[in-house]
Amino acid sequence: MTPTTLIIAGFAPGLGAALKLRFERAGYDVLGISRSSDPPWNTDLQDPAATARLFERIDRDMPPLAGVIHTAMHFLRKPFLQTEPEAFQAVWQSMVMTAVNVSQQAIPRLKAQGGGALIFSGASGSRRAGPNFSAFSSAKFALRGLSQALAREHGSEGIHVAHVVIDGLVRGERTAQRFGPVDDEQLIAPADLAEQYWHLFHQPRSAWTHELDVRPSGARA
C-alpha cells in the first residue's frame, strides 16, 4: 500500500498497543501520541498550540494522514459532591478537548486529500451514567455528541466519523488494578477490539457505520 500515517491520540498500553500492532501489520506508519510518547512525538493534546505544532511536524516528516483514532482516557469514579471542579474539568480536558484539538487539525488535512477516518473511543458511560461517574460519563456523553456532529458536518467531504461504544472492560493491567479479578468472559481482548476498529476504518463509503457497540459475550445487561 502507499505509505500513510495513522495517529492514535491518547496512546496507552492495551487497546492503543493493539491498534498500533494491527495497523502497522497492514503497512501504516502509526504514531502513538501522548505526553509520555518518545520525542519528538510527545505532545500534550490538551494544548491546542502544541497539537497544531504536532500536525505541522507530521506534515513535514511523515506520509500523508490517513486518519485518527482517539483513545484518550481519564478514569474518575467519585461521588459528585466530593468531586472538585478542578478534577471535573481535568476529565473533560483529557477526553473532550483532546478530541476537539485533534479534530480541528485533522479534518482540514483529510478534507484536502479527499477523505479519511476519524474514530472516537466511547464507553458504557457514553449512553448511561451511574452513581460516582458524573465527571466521566458527562465527558463521554459530550464526546459522543461531538462525533455525531462531525459525522453530519463532514461526512459529505469523505471523512468517516465513527464512535465506538466499548461496553465492557478491556483486558489489561489497568483494568485489573481498578476492578480486581474479573471473569474472562466479561473482558474484551485488546486485539479483538482493534480488529473492529480496523474494519470501521476500511468500510466502503456507501455503508459507513457511525456508531458501533462492542461488548464481551459475558457482559451483564
Question: How much is the average pLDDT of 108-136?
Answer: 95
Residue 221: is its pLDDT beyond 60? no
| Separation between Cα atoms, residue 104 and residue 94, nearest integer Å | 16
Question: How much is the average pLDDT of 141-164?
Answer: 98
Cα of first residue to Cα of last residue in the chain, in angstroms, is: 42
Three-state SS at 81: helix
Question: How much is the average pLDDT of 116-139?
Answer: 96
Residue 138 within a domain: yes
Question: How much is the average pLDDT of 20-48?
Answer: 96
Structural domains counted in the chain: 1
Residue 107 within a domain: yes
Residue 221 within a domain: no
pTM (two decimals): 0.94
Residue 220 within a domain: no
**CB-CB contact of 126 with 114 (8 Å):** no
Domain span at 24: 5-214
Residue 114 within a domain: yes
Quote the pLDDT of residue 177.
Answer: 66
Residue 219 within a domain: no
Residue 9 within a domain: yes
Confidence of residue 168 (pLDDT cuts 50, 70, 90): confident
Give the sign of the dihedral formed by CA 167, CA 93, CA 7, CA 150.
Answer: positive
Quote the pLDDT of residue 213.
Answer: 95
Residue 80 within a domain: yes
The domain that holds 96 is classified in CATH as 3.40.50.720
Question: How much is the average pLDDT of 171-192?
Answer: 76
Quote the pLDDT of residue 194.
Answer: 97
Confidence of residue 148 (pLDDT cuts 50, 70, 90): very high
